[in-house]
Amino acid sequence: MRIVNISIIGFGAVGQGVARCILSKQEFLKKDGIDLRVVGISDSRGSEINTGGIDVESALLRKKQKGSVAAGSKNPHEIIRDVKHDIVVEVTPTNINNGEPGLSNMRLAFKSGKHVITSNKGPLALHFNELKEAAEDNGLFFRYEATVGGAVPIFNLVHEALAGNTVLGIEGILNGTCNYILTRMSEERMPYDLVLKEAQELGIAETDPTYDVEGIDSAIKLIIIANSIFGLDSTYKDVDVTGITKITPEALELANRNNYVVKLVCEAREGKLTVAPRLVPKRHPLAVGGTLNVASILTDLAGRITISGRGAGSIETASSILSDILYIVRNS
């Protein structure tokens, strides 16, 4: 049995999703010869450390009952640096201004000889190449499947399953909130404001929806894709961004009559990064509805390969993190 020790830094929806996944997959992983243990968990109020393996079920219960996992007061940096383990699962919230606290956590992890797996878009949108090089220089893995597309394994698909192909371009619908709003506007012929309100009531849109509807979230995901797949060094200022707030039911109706749908499409092609509403033929693989995410990879050999699935959700995001954990275990 191979013991794999991880820490979970950040214990919000994604961190708890990872913990629940690990709990539910313990027997499954043991059959594969892997004893996956969580040796450190931290949230904004404190932490728990157990070098023999934390009782994850109790930690989840404590979080639920007391709002924090805190059993001790060590901070994330002390866990990352001082506790002996293999992989830091960095799942603190995305901060697009300076990437913190995720950025410092990742830098320290690489310095301390730990692999990093993350769902945190901030550090990658701001300092992708620095982090990638820090991992390489230290002979460590840096995996971030969960940053883009939730459960949809875009990076694995391109780097592993389509290995040998040259990627010519990527198109994607990477924000479930926008996709939901546009789908409902089109199918129910309702105006933007009304559908946004409905989405907010359903918890699909935030109270302040700016980050989603203005295309900012999509742009950040596109940056990570472009840097990872095309080896660019782009940041937010390199993306030409238009949101969905100006789209009228009339425009959607006109599109519909001509067998098109309107989607907020992210595109990376020939070094140019764009997020904008675009007409997509109804029969096109990109034309998926509801809150789904989709990515379409244009390659020289395989042609266009399109993959879709749930772009959000704590278990869905944890699924990508678990596949990254297994990738590291199989390749190290």
CB of 216 to a copy of itself, least distance (A): 25
Which window, 61-69, 210-218, 223-231, 318-326, contacts a copy of itself (CB under 8 A)? 318-326
| Contacting residue, 73, 163, 193, 246, with a copy of itself by CB under 8 A | 163
| Contacting residue, 14, 152, 265, 275, with a copy of itself by CB under 8 A | 152
278 bridge partner residues: 263
Residue whose CB is less far from a copy of itself, 68 or 306: 306
Q: Is 256 in the site for a copy of itself (CB under 8 A)?
A: no
Residue whose CB is less far from a copy of itself, 164 or 203: 164
CB of 242 to a copy of itself, least distance (A): 25
Residue whose CB is less far from a copy of itself, 50 or 308: 308
Compute how many residues bind a copy of itself; rule: CB under 8 A.
Answer: 46
| Contacting residue, 69, 109, 182, 322, with a copy of itself by CB under 8 A | 322
| Contacting residue, 103, 173, 268, 318, with a copy of itself by CB under 8 A | 318
Question: How many Å apart are CA 244 and CA 255, to the nearest integer?
Answer: 15
87 bridge partner residues: 6, 115
Question: How many Å apart are CA 25 and CA 3, to the nearest integer?
Answer: 15
List C-alpha distances in Å: 324 to 89, 180, 329. 10, 28, 9
- Residue whose pair of structure tokens reads 């393996």 in the numeric block: 53
Question: Kindly report the CA angle at 309 between 156 and 11, in degrees rounded to 5?
Answer: 75
Residues 3-22 binding a copy of itself (CB under 8 A) are: 21
Residues 165-224 binding a copy of itself (CB under 8 A) are: 165-166
| Contacting residue, 26, 68, 95, 306, with a copy of itself by CB under 8 A | 306
Which window, 42-50, 125-133, 220-228, 277-285, contacts a copy of itself (CB under 8 A)? 277-285
The strand ranges marked E within the chain are 2-9, 34-43, 46-49, 87-90, 115-118, 142-143, 167-173, 239-241, 260-269, 272-281, 292-299, 304-310
Question: How many Å apart are CA 31 and CA 112, to the nearest integer?
Answer: 30
- Residue whose pair of structure tokens reads 């728990």 in the numeric block: 48
Q: How many C-beta atoms surround the C-beta of residue 70 within 10 A?
A: 19
Q: Is 153 in the site for a copy of itself (CB under 8 A)?
A: yes
197 tagged catalytic: no
Are 1 and 33 a contacting pair, CB within 8 Å?
A: yes
Are 278 and 251 a contacting pair, CB within 8 Å?
A: no
Q: Is 327 in the site for a copy of itself (CB under 8 A)?
A: yes
Tokens of 55: 């009782």
Q: Is 164 in the site for a copy of itself (CB under 8 A)?
A: yes
CB of 322 to a copy of itself, least distance (A): 4
Residue whose CB is less far from a copy of itself, 125 or 325: 325
Question: How many Å apart are CA 140 and CA 144, to the nearest integer?
Answer: 13
| Contacting residue, 2, 3, 28, 197, with a copy of itself by CB under 8 A | 28
Task: Tell me the residue type at 240.
Answer: D
Q: How many C-beta atoms surround the C-beta of residue 90 within 10 A?
A: 27
Question: How many Å apart are CA 225 and CA 66, to the nearest integer?
Answer: 38
Of the listed 25, 221, 263, 272, which one is catalytic? Answer: 221
Question: How many Å apart are CA 150 and CA 316, to the nearest integer?
Answer: 6
Residue whose CB is less far from a copy of itself, 247 or 292: 292
CB of 248 to a copy of itself, least distance (A): 22
Which residues are the active-site residues?
A: 221
Residues that bind a copy of itself (CB under 8 A): 21, 25, 28-29, 151-153, 156-157, 160-166, 282-283, 285, 288-290, 292, 299, 301-310, 313, 315-316, 318-320, 322-323, 325-327, 330
